[in-house]
Amino acid sequence: MKCLLFLLLPICCFAQNTKVTAYRLVNENDDGPCSVKSYIRWSEGGPLSYVTAESNDVAFARDLLTLKNLSKKWKKEKHFCTPLSLSSDMTHNMFVIEYNGKNDTILADKYNTMIVFPDKAKRYLDKIWFSNQCFRRI
């Protein structure tokens, strides 16, 4: 019996290590921050400013991480959004990915047509594949 418990414990632990949490800004302030991340962190706009969804789908988490890496080859544009900036480029969606003991975040626009890298002040666009393929699962 101890051997069976010893074998099941690692299986249970590994099954729980994948999680994707999606945040979508649904009620933004006219003069509020430009990122859903700010609304979540500082509770801007009250509790009804964003919605969340969760998934434990391993393939989905892998697809999102692959998509983030591939996006750096897409057409890029400047993206202006700092934590304190107002009336800037908006990022309405955020995907927090926990996969294989690592955490990563993807920020996207309202229609999931571009991935935003705020630390580089860049956004990468791929309207056809990005909006039609990966985000149908949410």
Indicate the pTM of the whole model. 0.73
How high is the pLDDT of residue 44? 58
Per-residue model confidence as pLDDT tens digits over 35-60: 777 777 776 556 667 788 899 999 99
What are the domain boundaries of the chain? Answer: 18-137
Q: What distance in Å separates the CA atoms of residue 20 and residue 24, rounded to the nearest whole number? A: 13
Q: What distance in Å separates the CA atoms of residue 124 and residue 119, rounded to the nearest whole number? A: 13
Per-residue model confidence as pLDDT tens digits over 79-111: 887 666 665 688 889 999 999 998 999 999 888
The answer, yes or no, to whether residue 114 has pLDDT greater than 60, is: yes
